Chain A
């Protein structure tokens, strides 16, 4: 069974940098990773696709990386508006299914 594991929560002060990890198992990390920001009461927003690419309109404060069976989302210059839940997502080629990580709650202190 493929699983994506994220830390339940992270926190940092405004202006600081935070990283959110996403580790995979099974056949879940053969594919690229996407990252989503989900503020309370709003629709999710795509931040990163193909592990490192940013859609247009996403500031370069957000960056993604992937190595082996883990991926990382980094957010620099933290703003209060960055407070949200963050999810990593990948494709399990064996299950032919999309996998979401459990989500990480970012608190901007």
Chain B
């Protein structure tokens, strides 16, 4: 059974940093692109970043480019999102998700339960 379990969320002050993790199991982790998607309170879903099989290709939404880094450790079946220079508007539930082996990279077939990040002073 495919499982994705996020961790690392919490309360952080504006300008601070936080690292989210996503532990994957039930599939060959290195065979799929992975993604982070977020939902701010009262708002819709927003894509944050994608990463390819080996971590050599990454894509970001403009609003996090230069502040967030998506990475992965295939040996540990783990996905990460390093978030820096956090802003109040980054407050959201963050989901990790697996991409189907399809193009374009928009078919997210398994999702984690979500992890809340709150940026507030």
Contact = CB atoms under 8 A, between A and B. Distances in A.
Contacts of A96: 59
Contacts of A95: 62
Given A44-B95, A44-B111, A46-B108, A103 B47 contact: no
Nearest to A32: B104
Interface residues of B, number: 25
Interface of A: 31-34, 36, 38, 43-46, 49-50, 55, 85, 87, 89-91, 93, 95-103
Nearest to A104: B44
Nearest to B112: A43
Nearest to B65: A97
B47 A99 contact: yes
B113 interface: yes
Given A43-B111, A43-B114, A44-B111, A49 B106 contact: yes
B11 interface: no
A100 to B, nearest CB: 5
B102 A36 contact: no
Contacts of B104: 31-32, 90-91, 93
A93 B104 CA distance: 9
A31 B59 contact: no
B112 A50 contact: no
Given A49-B107, A97-B59, A98-B35, A38 B47 contact: no
A35 to B, nearest CB: 10
A50 B105 CA distance: 10
A62 to B, nearest CB: 14
User: 9 shortest A-B CB distances, which residue pairs?
Assistant: A91-B104, A49-B107, A98-B47, A103-B44, A43-B111, A31-B104, A34-B106, A89-B106, A100-B45
A100 B104 CA distance: 13
B52 to A, nearest CB: 12
12 contacts: A31-B106, A34-B108, A43-B112, A49-B100, A49-B106, A87-B44, A89-B106, A97-B60, A97-B61, A98-B35, A98-B47, A98-B59
